[in-house]
Amino acid sequence: MISTILETLEYYGISLTTFFCIWLLVAVCSFYFGVFIGHQINKYYQRRAKVVAAEVHIDVPRFSYNPQVAYPY
């Protein structure tokens, strides 16, 4: 498989150093792009959680340490 890659690079006139530089650039950019997208999704869900928490009425607890008390969920 490595020989196939080397033959392909030689056919297109690309040196191994150039190939590794491009490969590293693509890997780093895709990593940072994934981190950026994950951060945007995380910000959205944190914002959504704050909105939902503001809408919830906290007057009735949803759990109890008393096993005889059952709250509907």
Chunked in runs of 10, what are the mean pLDDT values of the chain (73 residues)?
89 92 94 89 83 66 64 56
Tokens representing residue 2 in the block = 């490595």
- What pLDDT does residue 26 have? 96
Helix (H, G, I), strand (E, B) or coil at 50: helix
Tokens representing residue 59 in the block = 């007057």
- Closest of 39, 58, 35 to residue 47, by C-alpha: 39
pTM of this structure: 0.50
Determine the Cα–Cα distance for residues 46 and 12; give it in Å rounded to an integer: 48
Give the type of residue at 52: V
**Residue found under tokens 């944190």:** 46
- What pLDDT does residue 1 have? 85
